[in-house]
Amino acid sequence: MNRHLLGTVAAAVVLGQSLCAQDVAATLKAAEYALGMVRGPQRIDPINTFEYWGTGSTHAFGQAYRPGMPWPAFKVTYHASLSYAVPAMRVDVTRSNPEGLVQGGGGLPLAAPQRQIQVVSGGFAWNESTPGAGFSPGTTATPAPGTANDRLLQLWTTPFGVLKMAVEAGAKAKLAVEGGLNTITFPFSDATVKMTLNAKQQVERVETRSDNPVLGDTVTETTYSDYKDLGEIPSDVLFPSHILEKQGGFPVLDLTVTKTDPNNPYVVFPVPDNVEHAAQTPAPVKVDVQKVAAGVWYLTGGSHHSVAVEFKNYMVLVECPLNDERALMVLDTVKKTIPNKPVRYVVNTHHHFDHLGGLRACVAQGATIITQAENRPYYETVWAQPHTLNPDRLAKSPSKPVIETVTDKRVLTDGTQSLELYHLQGSNHAGTMLIAYVPKAKVLIEADVFNPAPANAPPGPVVQENVNLYENLKRLNLDVQQITPLHGRMVSIADLHRALGEK
């Protein structure tokens, strides 16, 4: 190829890149004008803060009643306050039970309406008892450092936020046409954001991918529709009156927006001192070991517990929760506590993601997973999904999962030690719930169906899941003396009786 032709090709490439950049900039400018974000020929963006209110439903991700079902719903009133300059966001939600039969996890059913306030400001995240908590007596701000990135991504994937970030991405933003609609893709933090504009050049859909310990590379898809000026004072700023967000293919938010307020100067997000301190000194993952009886150890030290049961030549671990980090620490603790006996089996109580998230690490270390029979096809499906965004132990060292199941009952025994596994009937928390019983020690192991209150706490209302557990214990004729809940503290059977109102 001669020099003249090379020069012509190079010039064409540069011109194509320039036109592409111009096309992206023009498309973004049209989208900003379509939402009323910009004013005048100087393209001034007046949207610095924004508030919106609505009603609808939020859904408990990963907490379906049966594997593969949609996430269970809460009815909600919703108020979000946004600041793009800080950046910061406060979401103030009051949740209540849905109509009809309530099934699934995530805290359902609620004993009373529940208010949740979640905040992020810069790199700090926390939960509040009341808006602005932590700065006046009687209010609390609870650090939530592990949620900061997710909450910031929620801010930047709102219609105004995603346009601002696409502009900020500059030459990294790429324009394409799919199905006759403009799409713009750009990198943000550790994610890739894909924005689709409708025929009016309004933000119609935003897609991101993030890592989940169970689902792996998980798509979050938010659809915005029916744009309106919802301000009490007309401003020509348009916002979607319907927001539908899905994760893992099912809704996590379905909101009808009823009111907006652009640029409220009183939207402020001061960071409480204890939140800053917590971010500087993150809590380490730890596992505490308590011997319950001969051959039975209670592994605590976090929000989710496990129980190790010793047999002649191997160990059985009941529950390996949350994620790789927690699971590997639990497995290492078992190895140090009872050396020279491998963890042959890991019993999974149910399919909720917080109790399922550590099992991939157990598979990678060669353990056989025991779970209720209905879970097996679901586990085989989700464990085959890619984990490329944050490869875990199993993704780095692939191994085919070995899954054994329990239909109604299964007994593991070596002639001396026994562990009995039962399918818990009648639970509205999870249709695949297993409980475990060590007959020699008279110890019950259960998750979520009895979470004991703190010692000396006043009695609360009777919880149906507690009643159902007690009825199952009677049906199975189990002589339970101690209970090792997988949340909370070890208690005696008398504590369950007290929770049922018995003296």
Q: Is 255 helix (H, G, I), strand (E, B) or coil?
A: strand
Q: Is 37 helix (H, G, I), strand (E, B) or coil?
A: coil
Return per-residue pLDDT of the chain as tens, 503 residues.
444 443 433 333 333 344 466 799 999 999 999 999 986 665 667 899 999 999 999 999 999 999 999 999 999 999 999 999 999 999 999 999 999 999 999 999 999 999 999 999 999 999 999 999 999 898 999 999 989 999 999 999 999 999 999 999 999 999 999 999 999 999 988 889 999 999 999 999 999 999 999 999 999 999 999 999 999 988 889 999 999 999 999 999 999 999 999 988 778 899 999 999 998 887 889 999 999 999 999 999 999 999 999 999 999 999 999 999 999 999 999 999 999 999 999 999 999 999 999 999 999 999 999 999 999 999 999 999 999 999 999 999 999 999 999 999 999 999 999 999 999 999 999 999 999 999 999 999 999 999 999 998 898 899 999 999 999 999 999 999 999 999 999 999 999 999 999 86
For position 279, what pLDDT does the model report? 85
For position 9, what pLDDT does the model report? 36
Q: Is 200 helix (H, G, I), strand (E, B) or coil?
A: coil
Q: How far apart are CA 412 and CA 417, in angstroms?
A: 8
For position 503, what pLDDT does the model report? 65
Q: Is 182 helix (H, G, I), strand (E, B) or coil?
A: strand
For position 12, what pLDDT does the model report? 36
CA distances from 85 to 6, 128, 133 (A): 46, 22, 22
Q: How far apart are CA 157 and CA 221, in angstroms?
A: 10
- Of residues 266, 23, 252, the one with CA closest to residue 157: 252
Taking 3-state DSSP, the helix, strand and coil percentages for the chain, each rounded to the nearest 5, stand at: 25, 35, 40
User: Does residue 126 contact residue 144 with C-beta atoms inside 8 Å?
Assistant: yes
For position 7, what pLDDT does the model report? 42
Q: How far apart are CA 429 and CA 110, in angstroms?
A: 12
- Of residues 229, 206, 256, the one with CA closest to residue 76: 256
- Of residues 501, 498, 382, 370, the one with CA closest to residue 436: 370
For position 5, what pLDDT does the model report? 40
Token pair of 338 as six digits: 């009872």
- Of residues 430, 299, 414, 406, the one with CA closest to residue 354: 430
Q: What are phi and psi of 57, to 5 degrees?
A: -145, 145
DSSP assignment of 331-379: HHHHHHHSTT--EEEEE-----HHHHTTHHHHHHTTPEEEEEGGGHHHH
**Tokens 């408990």 map to which residue?**
60
Q: How far apart are CA 347 and CA 319, in angstroms?
A: 6
Q: How far apart are CA 357 and CA 494, in angstroms?
A: 32
Q: What are phi and psi of 211, to 5 degrees?
A: -90, 140
Q: What are phi and psi of 130, to 5 degrees?
A: -140, 160
For position 418, what pLDDT does the model report? 98
**Tokens 């085919």 map to which residue?**
400
Q: What is the CA radius of gyration of the chain?
A: 26
E-assigned strands of 29-107? 49-59, 73-83, 88-96
For position 265, what pLDDT does the model report? 79
SS3 letters for 111-157? CCCEEEEEEEECCEEEEECCCCCCCCCCCCEEECHHHHHHHHHHHHC
**Tokens 């557990």 map to which residue?**
469
User: Does residue 237 contact residue 70 with C-beta atoms inside 8 Å?
Assistant: no
For position 42, what pLDDT does the model report? 57
Q: How far apart are CA 478 and CA 470, in angstroms?
A: 10
